[in-house]
Amino acid sequence: MRTTILVTGGAGYIGAHIVLELLKAGYSVVVLDNFSNSSKQSILRVNRLAKKTATIVEGSISDRECLYKIFGAYEVSAVLHLAGLKAVGESSKEPLRYYQNNFSGTLVLCEAMDKFNIKNIVFSSSATVYGEPDKIPITECSQTGNTTNPYGTSKYMVERVLSDLCAADSGWSSVVLRYFNPVGAHKSGLIGEDPKGTPCNLVPYLLQVAVGKQTELKVYGNDYPTADGTGVRDYIHVVDLAKGHLMALKLIEDKAPFGIDVINLGTGRGYSVLEIIDAFQKETLQSIPFRYTDRRPGDIAACFADPEYAYKRLNWRAKLKLEDMVRDAWRWQSKNPNGYN
Ligand code: NAD
Ligand code: UD1
């Protein structure tokens, strides 16, 4: 019987939290990561926390031989596919690298899976595929494809490939999870987000201001049509997000083959930038100096999920609150001011 889960990109921020939940739930796990944006340390810490061992394979999803070796050696029942480059600004400067890694790499992965008759995949997509939403909360039926950068377009293209693959072969089951804004860290403070260079996203940047690595937070625009003028997003605790993946696996175990299913993973609640700063200051008693600047190109005013389909299909809801997100993020950052180094 096949019992192993392959997690591509499993050493990354979200992957490490998923691997921990998988090990705790009794799965055997193989992590495939090329460490382009992570280190082995995250998985070594996960192993410590779980008191179990995930196997680490250093390699790329674009390396066919490496995939063949893994699928030949382990009884893989499903692939959780997180491997990818994710910096939006960088993707506009290096589109070929992003399409090569995120899109072509996924084609190689799917071909190898097909060859070994492994036809269950959970794909890490993003709310970015919705572009500027026509209405909020965003349901899975909202229009997609109006993406504004190569990163987002690569996610949209992979979604289309998975859809076509499932239409062509009824043996495939593919769960596309559209994440909203993952933040926070495991409550142990041992694993968390470790961005390389200057972070682009709000919470990692805010954490660096709090530990003195950045002097102030720039709030990108206070003239949006939102309650306080700043951008509104659906922040979701990374541990809730990880648990959503286990429910997606359960769906596969119970119902496969079912073709493609597309599911939002969000809380259904939006918070503005000022609300995030306020929650952070209250929870951690750290002061966050900030100033307003122009809007960031490509940003939208407000975005949050309709989480009902996730509840219906996966029996999953996000449980952790904003206070948990900021407290856990701060615990990670203050215990590891230099990340895993
Ligand atoms: P991350 O960069 O921390 O993790 C991605 C991992 O993939 C890294 O460990 C990296 O080394 C690895 N990787 C990249 N290319 C690879 C390749 N060709 N072969 C093998 N490994 C490779 O990012 P994350 O925040 O954990 O995101 C995980 C996934 O979720 C990504 O696909 C990302 O696009 C998606 N996602 C993330 C967010 C977010 O806000 N963090 C939001 C929506 C979707
Ligand atoms: C961004 C990406 C999105 C990607 C997601 C997760 C853009 C345009 N969008 O989403 O494609 O899927 O990250 O990686 O980059 N903000 C500030 N100051 C900062 C940083 C952010 O005010 O220093 C504001 C933003 O304007 C936004 C909110 O904080 O209103 C959240 O921003 P961010 O964390 O970057 O996430 P998104 O823009 O939602």
DSSP per-residue string spanning 273-303: HHHHHHHHHHHH-----EEEEPPPTT--SB-
Atom of ligand 1 nearest to the CA of 194: 3
Is 151 an annotated catalytic residue? yes
Task: Map residue 124 onto helix, strand or coil.
Answer: strand
CA dihedral 260, 33, 194, 16 (to 10 degrees): 60
Which residue type occupies 114? D
For ligand 1, residues with CB inside 6 Å are 8-9, 11-15, 32-38, 60-62, 82-86, 101, 105, 124, 126, 179, 181-182
Distance between CA atoms of 79 and 341, rounded to whole angstroms? 29
Task: List the chain pLDDT tens, one digit each, 341 residues.
Answer: 568 999 999 999 999 999 999 999 999 999 999 999 999 999 999 999 999 999 999 999 999 999 999 999 999 999 999 999 999 999 999 999 999 999 999 999 999 999 999 999 999 999 999 998 989 999 999 999 999 999 999 999 999 999 999 999 999 999 999 999 999 999 999 999 999 889 999 999 999 999 899 999 999 999 999 999 999 999 999 999 999 999 999 999 999 999 999 999 999 999 999 999 999 999 889 899 999 999 999 899 999 999 999 999 999 999 999 999 999 999 999 999 999 98
Q: What is this structure's pTM?
A: 0.98
Question: 51: left (phi > 0), else alpha (psi -120 to 50), else beta?
Answer: left
Task: Map residue 255 onto helix, strand or coil.
Answer: helix
Residues 6+ apart with CB under 8 A from 39: 11, 194, 340
Atom of ligand 1 nearest to the CA of 42: 9
Q: What strands, in cross-sheet order, belong to the sheet with 4-8?
A: 55-58, 28-33, 4-8, 76-81, 120-126, 173-179, 259-265
Atom of ligand 2 nearest to the CA of 152: 11
CA dihedral 106, 111, 116, 122 (to 10 degrees): 30
Distance between CA atoms of 159 and 122, rounded to whole angstroms? 11
Cis peptide before 133 (omega within 30 of 0): no
Distance between CA atoms of 5 and 15, rounded to whole angstroms? 12
State CA 261 to chain mean position distance.
17
Residues 6+ apart with CB under 8 A from 42: 11, 12, 15, 16, 191, 194, 340
Among residues 13, 27, 151, 205, the one annotated as catalytic is 151
> Tokens 């929870």 map to which residue?
283
102 C-alpha vs ligand 1 centroid, how far in Å? 9
Phi, psi of 280 (to 5 degrees): -65, -45
Task: Map residue 83 onto helix, strand or coil.
Answer: coil
